[in-house]
Structure 1
């Protein structure tokens, strides 16, 4: 590579500081800019179709601030409530140490990094994104991270139902997930050293691995193919494992109830209730071991429960 090729790869940034922008597409197709201590007020799509931007101390007050852009760094920013649908169709972006108040942020973003960000209104945020690194994030809102693909996540505190529906290839560590109906229809999910609290966890999913986790979920861990638990506690999880296939579970502490697993092996310290209906499953297809030596007799008569509403 000659010197001219190297120069072409490194943008020659111009610096703008302490500006106030307004009007639609205020900096449309801007290139190679460092923007500091500035604000984007009224006017949609101020930074549409931009390339190579470094934003520090910038605030956004209106809709669609970053669409169809590439190579963007955002630090110490504020996305106010009306900066809705803020970062869509944008690749190679990092957002750090930022307050992101607007809903529906991050849609169809590829190769993103989010660190030290607060999402007080995370409704429908992080949809259809791929190749994401997410650290030290707090988020409150329903339908977070739908169809997220290939993400490494740590120190996420999420409050909001229906998180991670349809997610693929996700690794989560050191997090707290308070989310009903989380990880439905998902695949290749690994969660370590985390708290999961919310009903109906991980239904209709494949290849789910939980290590050193606490799970608190009414009718959680059902309709899963290939489920692995290692050193997990089912703190208040009832009617677990219904129609799960290929279970490999090592559980620390008691299990309140197990209901109609299809196949595999479950080891727990103790078990309060075992429900196996031979009209619906083969009771011998799942090995269930209890360390305290007291395995309750299986309840074999049919049990009816209220249907789970989608």
Structure 2
């Protein structure tokens, strides 16, 4: 089935299945419920394709249109490519993504209750303001990822991009590799387990942190409190007029444990 010119062809539809269909114009599935989509394509002008829709699955499909999935509930994608994913998955509740590739800025903004396994995302500012996120086996190339987020756990993933997870709360990374200039700052309750930080400078500023880092950290600046364990730390900056150094313990595996030195010191 080809949905060509004409807006909102399936508005307010319920209990339908779509196979091999093509959406070539705007707003095809608004206010819909119980929708199954397989082997379908959204062309670029099929933008803003799924808004205010509940209980929908999309498998083995291509979504070329931007601004898809807005204020939706219970949406699951599997084996889906979204090459123009700008402003996609905004303000949704209950999102499941498995083996999805997406490219575009502001992916997942203000959404909540998100489960992800195998997401390759290329685009900045992903998941800004989102809550209750679980991520597995993914690669995120994103500046300002997870800003203003709450309750995020990321497993076995790779993240590239500066200023990671600022102004966030309850953020956990397990078995992750991260490269982030001035990343992981202004976080309330940051936990890192068996992670690597590559080319990451000025990390943890004003964060409460429990970090087990299996690599060198290039530099750490003004953590608020907690424990940071690393193979080594290139530069440790503690400004006593800004934070209380006694509230943070630094342990370098290549040296004896180090309890917050004076204002600036090498730990290599």
- Using structure 2 for the length normalisation, give the TM-score: 0.96
Q: More strand by proportion, 1 or 2?
A: 2
* Contact 2:246–2:259 under 8 Å retained in 1: no
1:53 maps onto 2:16 in alignment: yes
Task: Name the count of aligned residue pairs.
Answer: 263
| Equivalence for 1:288 | 250
Structure 1 equivalent of residue 73 of structure 2? 110
- Which runs of 5 or more residues in structure 1 are unaligned? 1-37, 302-310
Q: By how many angstroms is 1:297 displaced?
A: 8.6
SS, match of residue 223 in structure 2: coil
Report SS of the residue matched to 1:157: strand
- 1:263 maps to 2:225: yes
- Return the TM-score normalized by structure 1: 0.83
Pair member with larger Rg: 1
Distance 1:84 1:152 in 2: 24
Aligned partner of 2:238 in structure 1 is 276
Greater RCO structure (CA 8 Å; 6+ sep): 2
Any residues of structure 2 matched to 1:75-224 within 5 Å, and which?
A: 75-224=38-187
Distance 1:119 1:232 in 2: 29
What SS does structure 1 have at the residue aligned with 2:102? strand
> Where does structure 2 lack aligned partners over 5 or more consecutive residues?
none
Q: Is the 8 A contact 1:170 1:188 kept in 2?
A: yes
Distance apart, 1:300 and its partner CA: 2.2
| 8 Å contact kept, 1:273–1:298 | no
Q: SS of 2:246's equivalent? A: helix
SS at match of 1:230: strand
Match of 2:200 among 225, 231, 237: 237
**C-alpha distance in 2, partners of 1:176/1:291?**
28
